[in-house]
Amino acid sequence: MNRELLEAAYRLETRKSVSETWAVIVDVLATHNIDRILYAVRDEGVVPNWFVLSNLPNQWPLAETTNADFHEPFVTYCCATFEVTKLGVVFLDQNEGYIDDYTREYLSKLVRFDWQAGLGIPCSLVGSGRYGGFVVGNNMARHGFERSVMPLADQLQTFCLIAHRKIESCRRLDGGPSTHRRLSAREYQVLELISSGHRPKTIAELLELSLSSVRLYIKNARLKLGVATNEEAVVRFLQDHR
Which amino acid type is present at position 8?
A
| pLDDT tens digit sequence for 96-105 | 777 889 999 9
At the topology level of CATH, where does 3-173 sit?
Beta-Lactamase (3.30.450)
Query: Measuring CA to CA, how many Å separate 196 from each of 6, 114, 199, 222, 235?
Result: 32, 52, 9, 17, 12
CA dihedral 230, 235, 239, 241 (to 10 degrees): 30
Q: Out of 3.30.465.10, 1.10.3480.10, 3.90.700.10, 1.10.10.10, which CATH number does the structure's domain 185-240 have?
A: 1.10.10.10
Q: Where are the domains of the chain?
A: 3-173, 185-240
- φ and ψ at residue 20, rounded to 5 degrees: -65, -40
pTM: 0.70
| pLDDT tens digit sequence for 174-196 | 655 544 456 777 888 888 889 88
The region of weakest confidence among 67-76, 87-96, 130-139, 175-184 is 175-184
